[in-house]
Amino acid sequence: MTLTDVTKKQTCRIRAISGPDALRQRLTALGVMRGQKVRLSASTLWGNPRTYAIGRQQICLRNEDACMVEVEPCDD
């Protein structure tokens, strides 16, 4: 599953980030990387872009970019 599938009630962990170099570089710079916990925190009327709670920050991503981030559900 990817970041776009994450729901508000679910906490996930990032497995891998793919996509163009610029995107990967940008996300890395913001501290978004493998192993981090992610939760959906807000969505707009159109369902795109969305805001995710990642670590101690809230990051806005368009779905076109969010689908490049592969995640898996985590239990704790």
Partner 1 sequence: MTDQVFTIALLGNPNCGKTSLFNLLTGSRQRTGNMAGVTVTGREGEREHRGVTLRFVDLPGIYSLSHNRVEERVARDYLFETPPDLVLNVLDAGNLARNLALTTQLLEQQLPSLIAVNMLDEAEAQGITLDCDSLAKLLDVPVLPSDGRKPRYLDLLLDTIVDHLHLCAPAQALEIGYEKHVEGALTRLSETGLKRWQAVQALESGGDVAFVLYDEQQTLLQQEIKQLESYHDDSAAQLIAEGRYGFIHGLMHNSGSDHDEISFAEHWLDSLVLNRWLGFPVFVCLLWLMFESTFTLGAYPADWIDATVSGLGQWLANALPEGLLRDVLVDGLIAGVGGVLVFLPNVVLLFTFIAIMEQSGYMARAAFLTDRLMSRVGLHGKAFVPLVMGFGCNVPAIMATRTIEEPRARLITILINPFMSCSARLPVYVLLAGIFFADRAGTVMFGIYMLGILMAFTVAAILSRTLPTQHDESFIMELPPWRIPTLRSLLLHVWDKAGDFLSKIGGVILVGSLLIWLLQTFPQNADQSYLEQLGHLLAPLFAPLGLGWQETVALLSGFIAKEVIAATLAVVYQMGEHDMAGLQAALLAGLAPAAGLALMVFTLLYMPCLATIAVIRRETGSWRWALLSILLGLVLAWVGAFITYKLGSLWL
Please provide the DSSP assignment of 13-70 as one string.
EEEEE-S-HHHHHHHHHTT--TT-EEEEEEE-TTS-SEEEEETTEEEEE-HHHHTTEE
Which residue in 1, 7, 25, 72 binds partner 1 (CB under 8 A)?
A: 25
- Least separation in angstroms between residue 17's CB and partner 1 is 7
Q: Decide if residue 10 touches partner 1 (CB under 8 A).
A: no
The tokens describing 4, both together, are 């776009």
- Least separation in angstroms between residue 65's CB and partner 1 is 5
The residue ranges that bind partner 1 (CB under 8 A) are 11, 16-18, 21-31, 33-34, 36-37, 39, 41-49, 51, 53-62, 64-65
